[in-house]
A and B are shown apart, each in its own frame.
Chain A
Amino acid sequence: MAASKASRIGEEIWKTRIDKVNAELVTLTYGTIVAQLCKDFEEDYPEVNRQLDKMGYNIGLRLIDDYLAKSNTMKRCSNFRETADMISRVGFKIFLNITPQVTNWTADNNSFSLVFDENPFADFVELPDDGRAQNELWYSNILCGVLRGALEMVQMQVEAHFISDVLKGNDTTEMRVTLIRYIDDELPPEDD
């Protein structure tokens, strides 16, 4: 599917088939989740990153059903490039109303970046000025888990991590997504 068509589909679904809530309710709720994790793990930020990723993974496992039901394409993406476009222009569009830019492909077409001009999770956010958070905390790390979980359910094992974040003083917010392998038919792992 052409990228422009994916954009149209995403736009159309967002406008007509999505129940909406105030964006700040979502932003503030996410904020309180991260803040609680930082407190529970006593500012052990690498552990907070892991917890966020885990939460995202749990969400992804279920979110994919919603995605498939709403996007209604019921057609497998023909290659990983198409998958990337659908993630950005349909997936991110219908859940977060943003379309991160898909870019920086590797030559083998197995790895790309999502560059976020907008990130609703990070509105109102400033990391703690403790000399560590800006080095260690990936504030929006839940999104990596979501992608990992959701794609696993459609038989793609991927690895996703942020490589830059404006909250850390970088000029962009960028996530790397790498296809590890297509999973052969097997039972999905237990949801924890």
Chain B
Amino acid sequence: MSSLPSGASSGKESGLRVPSNGKTIYHRPINRTKTSELSQASFAFLFSEMVAYAQKRVKGIQELEHRLNVQGHSIGIKLLDLLLYREPVRTQLRPQHIVGLLHFIKQNVWQHLFGRQADRLEKSTDAEKPDEYMIIDNEPLVNQYISVPREMSQLNCAAFVAGVIEGVCDGADFPARVTAHTVGEGEMWPGKTVFLVKFRSEVVEREAFLAKT
């Protein structure tokens, strides 16, 4: 790397350089990799390095999950636009209701990222918590090669996916907090994960108001 000019000596330049053949992201069809595939192993290697790196910079599980959440968040914001753009024109509208948004996440976002839909969508049965919804994945793809040590059993690395969901919600103007919780179900689904989506109170208020008009 020593051959590279340092920031100080190169000075401020205006604008980015582009290859002489003009190959930039603006010339690349946005749908080119829509259905492309890569090996799951590559994803697993990257994800495990991401978690290991994050772990070195935090104290405790909560902070670690928060960090993973933040890293997913920026993906969610961008995915919302990308996936809507790829919809047929008449369904390109942003979701305007909570249920529509959650269906979009359960179906489109999951299908795109993980090749299948999420397993279930639920609303909290607790009347005190009208702002809570749950997206359930019996077997999160991101956790397939993650084994959580016993002393960290509270950890669920799908916090990364929770971040993606949160990004989609925030991007669609349904601000929410999303967290991932392991709710292992016997031997069948030991890694079953609930993504708890807790919308901000104004989202629920708006929804009630819209229902009336």
Contact = CB atoms under 8 A, between A and B. Distances in A.
B40 A32 contact: no
B53 interface: yes
A135 B6 CA distance: 8
B4 A136 contact: yes
A25 B4 contact: no
A131 B11 CA distance: 7
Interface in B1-54: 1, 4-7, 10-21, 23-25, 28, 32-43, 45-47, 49-50, 52-54
A132 B15 CA distance: 11
Nearest to A23: B36
A22 B110 CA distance: 11
Contacts, number: 145
Q: Do most interface residues of chain A lie in helix, strand or loop, or is the interface mixed?
A: helix
A33 interface: yes
A169 B39 contact: no
Contacts of B43: 21, 25-26, 29
Interface residues of B, number: 53
B57 interface: yes
Interface residues of A, number: 52
Contacts of A22: 35-38, 112-115
Contacts of B20: 171
B33 A23 contact: yes
A32 B71 contact: yes
A20 B57 contact: no
A59 B49 contact: yes
The 9 A-B residue pairs whose C-beta atoms are closest, nearest first, are A169-B17, A23-B36, A20-B37, A19-B40, A132-B7, A131-B12, A55-B49, A59-B45, A32-B71
Interface of A: 18-33, 35-36, 40, 45-46, 49, 51, 55, 58-59, 62-63, 66, 94-97, 120, 123-127, 129, 131-132, 134-136, 138, 161, 166, 168-171
Interface of B: 1, 4-7, 10-21, 23-25, 28, 32-43, 45-47, 49-50, 52-54, 57, 71-72, 74-75, 78-79, 112-115, 141
